Amino acid sequence: MLFPNQTTARLALRHPVPKDLDHVFKGLSDPAVIEHYGIAYRSKDEARAQMDWYEYVWTNEEGLYWVIADKESGAFLGTVGFFNWMHPNRKAELSFWLLPAAWGKGYMQEALAAALRYAFGTMELNRVEALVEHGNTRAERLLLQAGFKKEGTLRECEVKEDADKLISLEMYGLLAREFVPGKV
């Protein structure tokens, strides 16, 4: 099956490839990125598991992840994608992150809009869910701008990796009929 690369005005959303390992490790070991992200790696060998997982969810039709890259330079900026794709229920969970140098430039809004168009169009999803660690106001603001609705709080539902600390997650959802492509 051909991977569904996407483009936007400034970005190329493409299939993750082995040469992205250094960038994935850089992002998912950066304290600013992982502060509110559920995954963190201490070595490139550990980060290779993330690369393998990107490929696994794609080949098994359980989701898909795009590398977000600058369209002109090809510079790696982060990732956006879907996992826990439940075909019969027409829903999937959203995940995203950017390298800190790319923050505040509107890249994630642009990438998210393309990803959601694909989700509600080609994937024929009815619902996209996002779980956000309590206190991650940047992610919450992004989701609200995209039209997601806050649906509740999962109180002390997860142990933060390497912190042995219980965290709460905020549940956000967006339905196909609520999605406005130009809103993000």
E strands along the chain, which residues?
A: 6-7, 11-14, 64-70, 76-86, 91-98, 127-133, 149-160, 165-175
Q: Which of 132, 128, 131, 139 is nearest to 179 (CA)?
A: 128
Residue 30, domain member (yes or no) = yes
Residue 183, domain member (yes or no) = no
pLDDT of residue 160: 80
pLDDT of residue 184: 65
Residue 86, domain member (yes or no) = yes
The kind and range of the H/E element at 103 are none
Residue 68, domain member (yes or no) = yes
pLDDT of residue 161: 67
Residue 184, domain member (yes or no) = no
pTM of this structure? 0.94
- Supply the range of the domain harboring residue 34: 6-178
Q: Which CATH number covers residue 101? A: 3.40.630.30
pLDDT of residue 2: 84
Terminal C-alpha separation, the chain:
29
pLDDT tens digit at each of 184 positions of the chain? 689 999 999 999 999 999 999 999 999 999 999 999 888 899 999 999 999 999 999 999 999 999 999 999 999 999 999 999 999 999 999 999 999 999 999 999 999 999 999 999 999 999 999 999 999 999 999 999 999 999 999 999 988 866 678 999 999 999 999 999 876 6
Our count of domains for the chain comes to 1
Residue 144, domain member (yes or no) = yes
